[in-house]
Amino acid sequence: MPLITTVLTIALYALLILVFVRAALSWFSPHPTSEWQRLVFRATEPMLAPVRRWVPPVSGLDLSPLVVTMAIIFVIAAIRSIG
């Protein structure tokens, strides 16, 4: 795999981990109090906020992390098929 696709894939996996951490933090600690929690929220909110406007909560459950996760996995698969 060329270097650019490898770097892009690693960055997308890191982003995927951040989305998972964000989802877990919203279940256990909805209001970020520590600096690393605020960092995770600031890193993921630009992706989640637009999705949240289009996908309404289902029974109070925010589905935006699921939609963003599926999109990231789709992009990773596309990059792997190209590279």
Q: How far is CA 35 from CA 1, 32, 81, in A?
A: 36, 8, 37
* pLDDT tens by residue, 15-46: 999 999 999 988 887 676 788 888 999 999 99
- For the entire predicted model, the pTM comes to 0.85
Name the burial class of residue 16, with classes exposed (0-12), middle (13-18) and buried (19+) by CB atoms within 10 angstroms of its CB.
Answer: middle
* pLDDT tens by residue, 46-70: 999 999 999 999 998 899 999 999 9
d(CA 19, CA 11): 12
